[in-house]
Amino acid sequence: METIKWIQCILTFVRVSELGSFSKAASSLGISKSHVSKTIKALEDEVGIALFFRSTRKVQLTSTGEEFLKNCQSSLQNLEAARAELVAPSDKPRGLLRVTLAGVFGENYIAPVLIAMAKKYPELTIELNFDTRIVDLIAERYDVGIRIGELSNSSLFAQKIASRREYVCASPEYLKKHKRPQTLEALKDYNCLGGQNQWAFKQNGKSKSVTVSGNLKTNNPRVVLQAALDGLGIVRLPGSYVFSHIKDGTLIGLLEDYSEGKKDIWAVTPARNKQNLNVSTFINELKVFLSEGYSDVLF
């Protein structure tokens, strides 16, 4: 028997059991008495056991029917409780919130907001996944993803939360041994660290890509940062890694006139979730956190 038909049979069985009459059950359900009779017969045929004693005067449950009724009533109560919880208005986040992000920006500026939410809303469970790949939010059932730069056209709903800029820099120690590069072309003569052989800039308002090389190749930005601080060479990293070091002088910014400029950082969510209370609360609190504490920073 199909699940939907089975549930309809259960509902009819419970109503007949509670009212003790096919006629009253039919009236209550808004269907014919003959339809109720056929439904109960189909149910008994399905389980292979008689659930009622029938007489011309009344309908009475068998002992098996009584046990079955208890189980059915319990299951229906659970379903009703689930429905009530689903539709009940709530002014506080609860349930599950799944977020995917990556990098130090996620660690230092997204995670603190989620930790604070977990503390503030004890009925909320947060799953935080750090992944360098672009996660399919819909297929993998994530509520929010943090993305950087231009977004491809999709069914995702996006809200800007901050902006990011990448900095070219080196330590004072390295620059004492090597003159500062004055042009983009000069970078070919320097030890440029990291996992990319092409660095993007803007020259005279136009994008320009420069080929670089160095003796340390890695896609781990923390390792690249440490190498720069140790005086190994020149690096190109997001502000979230280097702006504090530039501020305190342990790194020095280079080629500022050729900066590629800022890229926007987005919180994206499947469009169906944009009104979800967990999602909206997270994004609103994230915007407040970033604007109040880091309004002058390009991450």
Using a pLDDT cut of 70, give the percent of the chain over it: 94
C-alpha 105/C-alpha 216 separation (Å) is: 23
Which one-letter DSSP state was computed for residue 192? B
pLDDT over 70 (residue 295): no
The confidence band for 151, taking pLDDT boundaries of 50, 70 and 90, is confident
Residue 229: its pLDDT value, please? Answer: 97
Instruction: Please write the tens of the pLDDT for every residue from 27-80.
Output: 988 999 999 999 999 988 888 989 998 877 778 899 998 999 988 988 888 887
Quote the DSSP letter at residue 151.
P
Mean pLDDT, residues 127-154: 84
pLDDT one-digit tens code per residue, 184-233: 999 999 999 998 999 999 888 888 999 999 999 998 899 999 999 999 99
- pLDDT tens digits, 74-114: 888 888 777 766 665 567 888 899 999 888 888 888 999 99
Angstrom CA distances, 17 to 4, 13, 85, stand at 20, 6, 27
What does DSSP say about strands 144-148 and 198-203: parallel, antiparallel, or unpaired? unpaired
Range(s) for CATH 1.10.10.10 in the chain?
3-87
Read off the amino acid at residue 224: V
Where does the chain hold its CATH 3.40.190.290 domain(s)?
Answer: 166-258
What's at 173, amino acid-wise? E
Give the length of the chain: 299
Give, in words, the CATH class of 95-164+263-293.
alpha beta
Tens digits of residue pLDDT in 238-293: 888 898 899 999 999 999 999 888 888 899 998 766 678 999 999 999 988 888 76
Catalogue the E-assigned strands of the chain: 52-54, 59-61, 95-101, 124-130, 144-148, 156-164, 166-170, 198-203, 206-211, 235-238, 252-254, 263-270
CATH number belonging to domain 3-87? 1.10.10.10
Evaluate whether 43 touches 9 at the Cβ level (below 8 Å).
yes
Domain with CATH 3.40.190.10 in the chain: 95-164+263-293
pLDDT tier at 136, thresholds 50, 70, 90: confident
Q: What is the pLDDT of residue 139?
A: 82
pTM over 0.85: no
pLDDT at position 87, please?
61
Task: Give the architecture (CATH level 2) of 166-258.
Answer: 3-Layer(aba) Sandwich (3.40)
Q: What is the mean pLDDT of residues 173-185?
A: 93
